[in-house]
A and B are shown apart, each in its own frame.
Chain A
């Protein structure tokens, strides 16, 4: 690199320095863009995933839909801690969600899939993918003890 002060040399130096930086920062930038884009898509009524609301919507949810859309998990976490830690079981629970939003597949999952979220609530809490899905109600037999 004898002509490092020339135009071509400067360009080469610039590329050698800038390209790795761009390559390193690209995934971060892309993920940020994706995050912002995904959020915009949810806020924009047309691009948001179609959610099937219950027929009797007049009754109303426990909070307005704008709050529920982005903060329902905060609400659920709060009532969960109240019930677990303090034994205060209020009216809000996943069971109550289920009374209106009967299908997890057509309601919860649509948004969760759109934003690549996999909450593990439903591994333990009963919330069938569709209201017709049945669970076995056979009781297990007792064990011999240990």
Chain B
């Protein structure tokens, strides 16, 4: 082998080996994709035009599904989803509107960034969730959340309205987790189900990354707003008609 042939073969090997390795890694089946989480990016659309002011179907369904106790005392009440009334003046007339508020499942969740024990984290499918087993109850996430979507459990749940889902003990932070346990089983969240059952259909949960999904179509066809879009938290709850 002459010098030229040696250099050519050697160079080919030098460049080829990493390329072949990269190809092998890329073609290998990914274990993360095999599980439910990671293949989707969950988000929610709330169509306020179809959301009646006096309807509380989603609130009730959430409490029933997730054993969120109500103590009838604003100091201790926990709301995973709640309705607030906002007033806005258009010239002389004042319009009020009730808006359902829940965890926005931000892509840059401030609550997860400040959690000192990684009890709050963002799942691979974008759901921001609290691991109650790990939470030490420091309440830093309550302060960090710009949407007031987090609540501290001062009193603990009283009873199980849904025995298939655990309640929380006192001393942990909680918030909406988009019914992750239901989404993992392929069922819609309790609030969405209740909203559909009532016939209003104001809530929609789906995969934001899938352009054919109902939620992507709703976002594309309507003028949508996100709460405090300027903060850079990249919330994944979209409002129509806000």
Contacts and interface: CB of A to CB of B under 8 A. Distances in A.
B132 A124 contact: yes
Interface of A: 80, 83-89, 95, 120, 123-126, 135-143, 145-146
Interface of B: 35-37, 56, 59-60, 63-64, 68-70, 72, 74, 77, 79, 82-85, 121, 123-125, 129, 131-133, 148, 156-157, 159-161, 163-164, 166-169, 180-181, 184-185
Contacts of A141: 60, 70
B79 A145 contact: yes
Contacts of B36: 87-88
**Binding site secondary structure of chain B:** loop
A120 B168 CA distance: 11
B181 A89 contact: yes
Contacts of B160: 126, 135
B124 A142 contact: no
B161 A137 contact: yes
SS class of chain A's interface: helix, strand, loop or mixed? Answer: loop
A88 B35 CA distance: 6
Contacts, number: 84
Contacts of B60: 139, 141-142
B131 A142 contact: no
Nearest to B69: A140
B69 to A, nearest CB: 6
Contacts of B163: 126, 135
5 contacts: A87-B123, A143-B72, A143-B79, A146-B74, A146-B82
A84 B37 contact: no
Between B77, B148, B185, the greatest number of chain A beta carbons within 10 A of the residue's beta carbon is seen for: B77
Contacts of A145: 79, 82-85
A135 B69 CA distance: 14
